[in-house]
Amino acid sequence: MKRLPLPIAAGVVVLALLGTMGAAGPVHPADRRRPGGAADPAGLSDTAPCPDADRFTCGYLSVPLDRSGRVPGTLRLRAAVAGNRDAHRGVLMFLTGGPGQPGVSLLPRITARIAYLLQDYQLVMVDQRGTGEAAVDCPALQLEVGSSDVTPASSSALDECADVLGKTRNFYTTADTVADLDALRQTLGVRAWTMDGVSYGTFVAEHYGLTYPQHVTRMVLDSVVPQDGPRTLYADGLARSAYVLRQACQEQSCGFDPAADLAQVVRSTELGVGLYDLIVIGSIVDPKLAGPPAYFPVLSLIHQAALGDVEPLAQAVAAIQGGADTPIQQYSAGLHIATVCADLTDAPWGDSATPVGQRAGELAAAVAGLSEQSVWPFTRQTAGGQGLAHNCAAWAVSRPNPSPRLPRLTMPVLLIAGDRDLSTPLPWAREQAARTPRGRLVVIAGMGHSIQGRDAAGDAAVRAFLLTDCPA
């Protein structure tokens, strides 16, 4: 679940589903060789060639804001459909992440990353509700946190965003996006599709597959958020930081223990949350944390701070915070908070329907109950102060994300995870794999968040799953 500069996620999120569960309706002769038929953009409105992607048609899908009809309004979701309707393996729905990232504007990046699939599959992408051209705009929140999962926001920024959204904040849940996706599938005339999701996109893919298994043949989950949602206190990511730092140190022959240095700095300064953000982003940009020109020299900054010179590390932390350079069309912090807080299922206070006044005490009690070892080299205070816990504890009352229909995914699923991913840490992928009967987990050594198009071993696993192991 993470911000740009995610390669494609967020956040970044992407997901791949390929349907094997018996499609409904007659098979047109032209579609007999394609598992779920072709996607026809004719059902979209205002169609035109996509400006930044050759041989793609862009158009709009109108969906109700509230499918119960109690709150009026409609949303226009932009979608893009590749022109190769004769792709013999059918349709690939690729979902980006966040939540908060658009889809269609990332077409050039995605097509470059998964080019090896695009002759066999017809690619479809969509701006999930609240992103892209119709992104939720909460100016103060956007300025304070940008695309970060980790940065805590002020209460005034959270309150402003709740006021901006009003009652509509109840209708940006993952379940709403899942319903939108199925409306898109029907509009395009696709019986079943393959879905490929990154980061939060894996969560959307899982929930789509748990709701509409008959329309999914196969699924790729890259940088996995488990189907029960992200973990409010982020203990797995905090604890996993020691492994990531020590692996990087071993490769660089750094000559000190960066995890021990980090523990010292966190306990002697107030940089814990910001330092975790710095390391998470660093592990996305360059999982080896090698430093310039890719990113800050994380290991040396931590060591320097442990020796008493904290200012360079503090400056690096300050440099990554805030969203002044993150336009809402690139990443919507307002959509992110509305969705992710509704998605939490392990929040100490219950769910997003719990009165805000009751949450702080429940969060404090949960933080006090953590063992220091469970989050070392960070502290319990870091766990309670990072953005997911802090921001959702203060977010306005809203409708929790409804549970999907089924308890387990039934289609073949490939899960790929980097062993240095701190945004969606490896234990999350292991948890999801354990509850997916037809799932196969591939762990990519040395990789962080968002693997497709960035690592040969990850691409080989996807290629085998979607092109070799999957019959045409």
78, part of any domain: yes
Domain match, 274 and 322 both: yes
Q: Last residue of a domain, which of 403, 435, 458?
A: 403
Q: Please check whether residues 267 and 197 belong to one and the same domain.
A: no
Looking at the fold, whether 274 and 308 belong to one and the same domain comes out as yes
In a domain, 153, yes or no: no
- The answer to whether residues 390 and 436 belong to one domain is no
Same domain, 326 and 182: no
Q: Please check whether residues 368 and 424 belong to one and the same domain.
A: no
Q: Are residues 410 and 381 in the same domain?
A: no
Chosen domain end from 359, 375, 403: 403
One domain for residues 207 and 341? no
Structurally, the chain folds into a number of domains equal to 2
Are 89 and 207 contained in the same domain? yes
Closest CA to 77 of 95, 99, 102, 56: 102
Q: What is the pTM of this model?
A: 0.93
Q: Which of 375, 403, 431 is the last residue of a domain?
A: 403
Residue 283 lies in a domain: yes
Query: What CATH code is carried by the domain that includes residue 99?
Result: 3.40.50.1820
Note whether residue 411 is domain-resident: yes
Which residues constitute the domain of residue 47?
15-136+172-227+406-468
**Cα(23)–Cα(257) distance, integer angstroms:** 55
Q: Are residues 327 and 236 in the same domain?
A: yes
Nearest to 266 by CA among 252, 249, 279: 279
pLDDT, tens digit only, all 472 positions of the chain = 544 333 334 333 332 322 222 223 333 333 344 578 999 999 999 999 999 899 999 999 999 999 999 999 999 999 999 999 999 999 999 999 999 999 999 999 999 999 999 999 999 999 999 999 999 999 999 999 999 999 999 999 999 999 999 999 999 999 999 999 999 999 999 999 999 999 999 999 999 999 999 999 999 999 999 999 999 999 999 999 999 999 999 999 999 999 999 999 999 999 999 999 999 999 999 999 999 998 999 999 999 999 999 999 999 999 999 988 999 999 999 999 999 999 999 999 999 999 999 999 999 999 999 999 999 999 999 999 999 999 999 999 999 999 999 999 999 999 999 999 999 999 999 999 999 999 999 999 999 999 999 999 999 999 999 998 776 6
Same domain? For 338 and 378 the reply is yes
DSSP β-bridge partners for residue 194: 92
Using an 8 Å Cβ cutoff, are 194 and 18 in contact? Answer: yes
Q: Do 105 and 23 share a structural domain?
A: yes
Q: Which residue has the tokens 């987990």?
A: 441
Q: Judge whether 462 lies within some domain.
A: yes
Q: Would residue 269 count as lying in a domain? A: yes
Look at residue 2 and tell me if it is in a domain: no
Structure tokens at 458: 């990850």
| Position 302 in a domain | yes
Q: Distance (Å, rounded) from C-alpha 401 to C-alpha 339?
A: 8
Q: Which residue has the tokens 């911000």?
A: 3
